[in-house]
Amino acid sequence: MPRGITIGATHYPTKEAVRNICRGIVQRYGIGGDVTDPDHDAFLRGLLKCHPEYDLKRGIGIAHFRVIAHTDHNRRSVGIALIRLDGEVADFSWNACLTPFSQRTQVLAALRHAIAEQIAQARDAALDSGQPLVCAVTGELIPSAAELHIDHADPTFLDLAEEFITVNGGVDAFRILPDSGAGITYIELEDKELEELWQNYHRERALLRPVLKRVNLSDLRRTNEFQTPR
């Protein structure tokens, strides 16, 4: 059996090759741009069929695709959405099409989403402090708000999340909110009391620090699965 992955009638040697095509589509059309090339449209239709919730995402049928951007408490991401025949918009993760998310990945993503507001508040506090912004990792000045990211010092986000998961019954005890199948969606916990418990747990223990964007996106980079839409 050949290695790689088949999308539609085309076989790709690696999943990264497929991701690169998706990134190329995003770059070609730009935010808000509708995908018009028939080959790109066919590729995305084939890719979407690999999504674990394909029927839910497709709804009554796909009219076309569009490049979109969405912001979750100052964290901005760009991706691809499908426009249904009834005009409804539904985003989807191309990573989920290539490798369905494990329960652990979904729980970590939900925990990351649940503390996004705390991260945004820490960023706003740093900007409003009136003090020079200095990267906690390199010691360099952070020249602008665009270059400011907020990161966890020890304990890391993963440390805190794993501890919380362990003391609350393990990953299988965390239920994920079912996908609505429409609009811009994130992976969230179904149990909102448990979510609030996690938010308090994180607020009490997390040590948040300013870092340069390039440091957070390279040296300290966490896997993208923690921030991805469904």
Confidence of residue 218 (pLDDT cuts 50, 70, 90): low
Residue 39 has pLDDT above 80, yes or no: yes
Please determine, for residue 179, whether its predicted confidence score (pLDDT) is greater than 90: no
Sign of CA dihedral 113, 115, 117, 119: negative
Find where tokens 């996106």 sit.
Answer: 217
Mean pLDDT value of segment 17-31: 95
d(CA 20, CA 28): 12
Q: Which two tokens stand for residue 221?
A: 């980079």
For the chain, how big is the Rg over CA atoms in Å? 19
pLDDT at residue 224, rounded to an integer: 39
Asked if pLDDT for residue 129 goes beyond 60, the answer is yes
Q: Across all residues in the chain, what is the average pLDDT?
A: 87
Kindly list the distances between the CA atom of residue 209 and the CA atoms of 9, 13, 59, 114, 165, in Å, as whole numbers in the listed order. 48, 40, 42, 18, 23
How far, in Å, CA of 217 to CA of 213, rounded? 6
All residues at 6 or more sequence positions from 116 whose CB lies less than 8 Å from its CB, including other chains: 72, 73, 75
Spatial distance between the Cα atoms of 94 and 54, rounded to a whole number of angstroms:
12
pLDDT at position 75 over 90: no
Task: Give mean pLDDT, residues 156-171.
Answer: 95
Q: Which domains does the chain have, with CATH numbers?
A: 5-98 (3.10.450.40), 103-178+187-226 (no CATH)
Lowest mean pLDDT of 23-37, 52-66, 70-84, 202-216, name the range: 70-84
pLDDT at 223: 37
Residue range 52-77: mean pLDDT, rounded: 82
Residues paired with residue 82 on neighbouring β-strands, in sequence order: 65, 90
